[in-house]
Structure 1
Amino acid sequence: MTSAYPSISGQFLINGEWIAGKRVTAVTNPAILTEVVGEVALCSKQDVGQAIDAAQAAFPGWAGTSAEKRAALIKEASSQLAAIIEESVPLFVRENGKVLVEAKKDLLRCVEIMSKGADALVAWWKTESIPGGQMVQIRRRPRGVTAVISPWNSPMILTFKRVIPAILAGNTVVVKPATDCPLTVLSSLRVVAAHLPPGVINIVTGSGALVGEQICSDPRVRAIAFTGSTETGKRIMGMSAGTVKKLYMELGGNDPALILPDAILDEAAIERIRMGILRAAGQVCSAIKRVYVHESRYEEFMTKLKREFQRMIVGNGMQPDAMMGPINNKAQYDFVTGLIERTREAGAHVQTLGNKLEKETWENGYFLLPSIVTGVSQASELVRAEQFGPVIPVIPYSDQEEVIAMANDTEFGLRASIWTANQQLAEALADRLDAGAVFFNNHTIFQDLHLDFPGLKESGLSRETAWCGIDLFADTYGFAN
């Protein structure tokens, strides 16, 4: 072990105790494949069982803690986490591959999630009375042991957006981070857990099949928050059905961007489109994954998008000049490169653009230059799939009805965007798109963390919330005479 390893390397957390894993595997830097960033423990069935035991034992005491006290403890932890962000950013970049500015933004949002969630809790937790002749109160209570299974692509935000609301609501949690990118999650949750009673936060790492299956099947786990692929989400639903667990799922996406005839395609708009496609090397559930351009603007759009893609500098995220980092892991790298190759073999035109930051070390990382693909149809694999990489198909269309039909022709329904000078038209078309959220002249995330809109169809299972997600992790019940 080297001094570069984080202090939590190879460890997991049960009942307030950090335990060294008997079996571990390396976490490598996707930008420097020869660099081992740290180790991740491969927990056993016994470890997982003990984590659930600890969460179950800690639940009555934590559930009985006042909302005010829970909020105060999370506020204290957020201040301490904020103080170590600068030292956490390099670890996150090295294990995940994001560029520096993206990594820091994610960590800052985690602190914001804690602070805003704590502020929202006390107001939401108060008993509400329903006017009328009968005394009826709406009251809140936590559900119990809650499992949080988080992904490798945006592990910090997508872990904290589940863990923090769950514990604020009075639940105890068992967290299962992604094996490819667990270290910053572990080191950050270590700060949070230190402010809470033992057993409120427990963390187990390792095989998704072993750890995930046991968590989902255990009857003591009453709720599961999962972010990941739709196929894995379906398996979790099946495993959870036996005990009718509450499920909150953010699953896959195949987001369309609709460029209408009157779209404003100035430099700022094209940059927003590029960011919507290539943020985190395209490894974002709600990234633009299909672009439909009206035929009257097609040539202009293609010229401008190619110019914007050509500006991209791809390299190690630790270097300030890098605008886009590598793919996070070998399995995803192989999938994306295979998808591109199959698309090319099917007769599509694949134009690869951008610049290599360090050509001499390019092959020692999972780097891909961004590509724009034309000559594909609605039936093409690239158009149907969630590519999760820096490659985008662009398809011309002739009329509004055609583009709405193509945009909705997918099993996914996470996000969409409409690019037009006419907001009234955008609102009318948004009503017809199968998406949990539709953006107007942008394709991004909600800046206000109080807002959380689920995907439709096979993109998710939950509901919108105005309370930082706290209401997704608690039950409301009526008290009446």
Structure 2
Amino acid sequence: MTDLPELTHFIQGAHVFGSSGRFSDVWNPSTGEVQARVPLASKQEVERAIATAEAAQPGWAATNPQKRARVFMKFLQLLNAESPELARTLSREHGKTVADSMGDIQRGAEVIEFSIGAPHLLKGEYSSAAGTGIDVFSMRQPLGVVAGITPFNFPAMIPLWKCGPAIAAGNAFILKPSERDPSVPLRLAELWKEAGLPDGIFTVVNGDKEAVDVLLDDERVQAIGFVGSTPIAQYIYERAAANGKRAQCFGGAKNHLIIMPDADLDDAVDALLGAGYGSAGERCMAISVAVPVGEETANALVAKLTERVAELKVGHSFDEGADYGPLVTSQAKERVEGYIQQGIDEGASLVVDGRGFTLEGYENGFYLGPTLFDGVTRDMAIYREEIFGPVLAVVRAGDYEEALALATDHEYGNGVAIFTRDGDTARDFSARVNVGMVGVNVPIPVPIAYYTFGGWKKSGFGDLNQHGTDGFRFYTKTKTVTSRWPSGAKEQASGGASFVMPTMD
């Protein structure tokens, strides 16, 4: 174990070896082998990172937005050139296929592209002659030092979603990535430095709860962005708020896909396969519940799914023919297998069982075959809880209203989709469903970068979403100035002091 490569933090523009003496293993999910060790920061290490960020931030904030945008242009150029190798690094640590990793990086790059528009997005408002001789204007200013705590399942995309608007707005950003796949965030830090970002503006601190709690408690950190499980999202939101910080926390999901009787069934099956089993189901926007409306639709859907699920190819991360790869850790695999058994125990019909899958030559990898349940009901754990694995549950609905209620009443409200040929149905569903992101004949409704991403109910905590204009609102504060420049003659005729509430008459 001592011969394993030792990863670092990235503080003040340089790689820094950990000094806490605590480490976490970084696995290769395809082989089941430990490939590196990542340091877990102590309180003192995190405090040092905050101090260097705080010292660097005023100079970056004083840099005009157009010059900041030029750094982003250079970073984007470097990121695009580096994407193939970044994707391979990502796949080695996460387990998703290289093609999927490229998508991870691309969706992050799109937010960097959007953030290049910071000179426009940071403009305030101006009202001339709002009152006699009075002008009113507003300006958006950075918060200072902000932090992002990001999950293992998108080690490129979500850090870029968080840091892009934050840095473009003039803040210093501290990233606490997942300790399961930290190499891509560290490489992003190198690319930011190469692009011309001043030292201390993008910092990577690897760690666990100890590091997170320092970021939550330190008064120098003004805002926290988080993506992960709902219990942790709620914990971070509450603790950050108690300490007077802004918090933007996104949690778990249970995304439904409703299949109406008039839907193109082949399209719906293709959508369910990709959205349900892609990335081994380790996506917060994965479709984990299929809701066919009517018995005829349900029977036809399950028949087609059964045939197609059995044909899916599970392979190692670098297998170009694989539909998806391994789960991220052995513990993740065991957790999903536990849910499968629980579904059987609760009376669901196990149509396709992915347990017991092994890949020749990679017998120690964390693989799980695609799993399909039918006859799932609202009271079952495999319906109520987020499984985060390649498991699709079919919940049959008698009619449209029942299908709508399933998605609306569930405690999670991240994403939902409906497949139909009927415009009235799609329009009604989009308006009435109590979920934050809706797809119409689109299985994974992740908005483009200039719209915002965020779920409702227990999928999201906080008032503002990720990326889009909300990203810039979250990482800035608004200052409003009311100014009056009276002439000397008018000043003499003012009549002295006034003790009534001022108006603009």
TM-score between the two structures when normalised by the length of structure 1: 0.93
Give the structure 2 partner of residue 379 of structure 1.
379
Q: Could you tell me which amino acid in structure 1 is paired with residue 473 of structure 2?
A: D
Give the C-alpha shift of residue 451 in structure 1. Answer: 1.5
Alignment of 1:364-403 (within 5 A): 364-403=364-403
Q: Could you say if the C-alpha distance between residues 67 and 337 of structure 1 is closer, same or farther in structure 2, counting changes exceeding 3 Å?
A: same
Give the C-alpha shift of residue 138 in structure 1. Answer: 2.4
Q: Could you tell me which amino acid in structure 2 is paired with residue 157 of structure 1?
A: M
Q: Find the partner of 2:10 among 9, 13, 16.
A: 13
Contact 2:314/2:325 (8 A) holds in 1: yes
Give the structure 1 partner of residue 199 of structure 2.
198
Give a deviation string over 1:1-54, Cα, whole Å, max 9, x none: 99996xxx51101222211123333311011112x3322112111101101111
Q: Could you say if the C-alpha distance between residues 231 and 357 of structure 1 is closer, same or farther in structure 2, counting changes exceeding 3 Å?
A: closer
Bigger mean CA deviation after superposition, 85-94 or 213-222: 85-94
Structure-2 separation of matches of 1:75 and 1:4:
36
Give the C-alpha shift of residue 470 in structure 1. Answer: 2.4
The secondary structure found in structure 1 opposite 2:288 is strand
Give the structure 1 partner of residue 290 of structure 2.
291
Give the structure 2 partner of residue 239 of structure 1.
239
Bigger mean CA deviation after superposition, 188-197 or 320-329: 188-197
Give the C-alpha shift of residue 405 in structure 1. Answer: 1.9
Unaligned runs of 5+ in 2: 484-505
Bigger mean CA deviation after superposition, 138-147 or 346-355: 346-355
Q: Could you say if the C-alpha distance between residues 332 and 359 of structure 1 is closer, same or farther in structure 2, counting changes exceeding 3 Å?
A: closer
The secondary structure found in structure 1 opposite 2:115 is helix
Give a deviation string over 1:226-260, Cα, whole Å, max 9, x none: 01111001111222133321111221111111111
Give the structure 2 partner of residue 69 of structure 1.
67
Give the structure 2 partner of residue 279 of structure 1.
278
Give the C-alpha shift of residue 170 in structure 1. Answer: 0.5
Bigger mean CA deviation after superposition, 284-293 or 16-25: 16-25
Give the structure 1 partner of residue 492 of structure 2.
none
Give the structure 2 partner of residue 29 of structure 1.
28
Q: Could you tell me which amino acid in structure 2 is paired with residue 275 of structure 1?
A: G
Q: Could you say if the C-alpha distance between residues 203 and 352 of structure 1 is closer, same or farther in structure 2, counting changes exceeding 3 Å?
A: same
Structure-1 separation of matches of 2:58 and 2:64:
12
Structure-1 separation of matches of 2:246 and 2:94:
30
Structure-2 separation of matches of 1:101 and 1:468:
29
Give the structure 1 partner of residue 481 of structure 2.
479
Q: What is the root-mean-square deviation of aligned Cα atoms in Å?
A: 2.2
Give the structure 1 partner of residue 321 of structure 2.
321
Give the structure 1 partner of residue 126 of structure 2.
129
The secondary structure found in structure 2 opposite 1:377 is coil
The secondary structure found in structure 2 opposite 1:366 is coil
The share of aligned pairs that are identical, in percent, is 30
Give the C-alpha shift of residue 390 in structure 1. Answer: 0.5
Bigger mean CA deviation after superposition, 236-245 or 57-66: 236-245
Give the C-alpha shift of residue 132 in structure 1. Answer: 6.1
Q: Could you say if the C-alpha distance between residues 432 and 447 of structure 1 is closer, same or farther in structure 2, counting changes exceeding 3 Å?
A: closer
Give the structure 1 partner of residue 176 of structure 2.
176
Give the C-alpha shift of residue 362 in structure 1. Answer: 4.9
Q: Could you tell me which amino acid in structure 1 is paired with residue 9 of structure 2?
A: F
Structure-1 separation of matches of 2:110 and 2:70:
14
Structure-2 separation of matches of 1:264 and 1:309:
18
The secondary structure found in structure 1 opposite 2:186 is helix
Give the C-alpha shift of residue 447 in structure 1. Answer: 5.8
Structure-1 separation of matches of 2:127 and 2:309:
56
The secondary structure found in structure 2 opposite 1:476 is strand
Give the C-alpha shift of residue 444 in structure 1. Answer: 1.4
The secondary structure found in structure 1 opposite 2:173 is strand
Give a deviation string over 1:346-399, Cα, whole Å, max 9, x none: 222212268999733453111111111112211000000011110011011112
Q: Could you say if the C-alpha distance between residues 15 and 332 of structure 1 is closer, same or farther in structure 2, counting changes exceeding 3 Å?
A: same
Please say if 1:51 is aligned against 2:49.
yes
Contact 1:453/1:463 (8 A) holds in 2: no
Contact 2:97/2:316 (8 A) holds in 1: yes
Structure-2 separation of matches of 1:202 and 1:269:
43
Give a deviation string over 1:118-146, Cα, whole Å, max 9, x none: 1x211112232246624221211001110
Give the C-alpha shift of residue 216 in structure 1. Answer: 0.6
Alignment of 1:290-439 (within 5 A): 290-294=289-293, 295-352=295-352, 359-439=359-439
Q: Could you say if the C-alpha distance between residues 104 and 453 of structure 1 is closer, same or farther in structure 2, counting changes exceeding 3 Å?
A: closer
TM-score between the two structures when normalised by the length of structure 2: 0.89
Q: Could you say if the C-alpha distance between residues 2 and 69 of structure 1 is closer, same or farther in structure 2, counting changes exceeding 3 Å?
A: farther
The secondary structure found in structure 1 opposite 2:32 is strand
Give a deviation string over 1:423-464, Cα, whole Å, max 9, x none: 221111222211111100121144621112321111113435
Contact 1:71/1:168 (8 A) holds in 2: yes
Give a deviation string over 1:257-286, Cα, whole Å, max 9, x none: 1111212212x3321221111121111111
Contact 1:156/1:185 (8 A) holds in 2: yes
Structure-1 separation of matches of 2:193 and 2:470:
20
Bigger mean CA deviation after superposition, 384-393 or 190-199: 190-199
The secondary structure found in structure 1 opposite 2:413 is coil
Structure-2 separation of matches of 1:4 and 1:13:
19
Contact 1:256/1:292 (8 A) holds in 2: yes
Q: Could you say if the C-alpha distance between residues 426 and 15 of structure 1 is closer, same or farther in structure 2, counting changes exceeding 3 Å?
A: same
Give the structure 2 partner of residue 39 of structure 1.
37
The secondary structure found in structure 1 opposite 2:87 is helix
Unaligned runs of 5+ in 1: none
Give the C-alpha shift of residue 73 in structure 1. Answer: 0.9
Structure-1 separation of matches of 2:161 and 2:353:
35
Give the structure 1 partner of residue 493 of structure 2.
none
Contact 1:280/1:324 (8 A) holds in 2: yes
Mark the structure with the bigger radius of gyration. 2
Structure-1 separation of matches of 2:446 and 2:25:
34
Bigger mean CA deviation after superposition, 123-132 or 305-314: 123-132
